[in-house]
Structure 1
Amino acid sequence: MPNIKVFSGSSHPDLAQKIVDRLGIGLGKVVLKKFSNQETSVEVGESVRGEDVYIIQSGCGEVNDNLMELLIMINTCKIASASRVNAVIPCFPYARQDKKDKVSSISLI
């Protein structure tokens, strides 16, 4: 599969490994860490220039941290000139809050 890179976020590395095993490719190298103030840092360890990138990150567990990590990973890949960045999100966070039948308690003055 030419021009495809698959990276895993920290939410479900086992799922990402099973996916790349099934595709017959290796998992992309990425270093995820937190600074002392709990900000997320992402370092992509290989070139993604001109590649189609798939980032596997579930919305389970620490939803806000996982979502922020995904957004930083997407930004990192776009800055590194990836051709396309695709997010694979098996459990999509905040999807339940978009209900039209709910009445919002926020009013703008």
Structure 2
Amino acid sequence: MINVDPSSTISPVEQIRSQLAAQIQAGQLTPDTKLPPVRQLAADLRVAPGTVGKAYKELESAGLIRTARAAGTRVNPGHATTEPLIKAAQTLAERANRQGLTLTEAQGLLAHTWKTIQPS
């Protein structure tokens, strides 16, 4: 299930992209799962079709999904996250929540840490 929060500072495209990516990486969307057509998902989420189309393009560029006219848009195999990483993410979320951080603050902390480990 994907939700778009219109009051969020995060763009609808990024909300859709990140939620689908997380579901794919967590194994909630298994390889070859067919995703809804762009127009259907746009109608369900009450966003413009171009918004969903852009999110799908970004996911396709990242290799998480593939699109074929006859077969539709499907999850690519080989992108499920391993169980230890899922558990680490859960631990991070629980600790951040206990310390009173919002989701946005926890994401900011992760983003900051991510930047420190990226090669120059």
TM-score under structure 1 length normalisation: 0.31
TM-score under structure 2 length normalisation: 0.29
Higher share in strand: 1
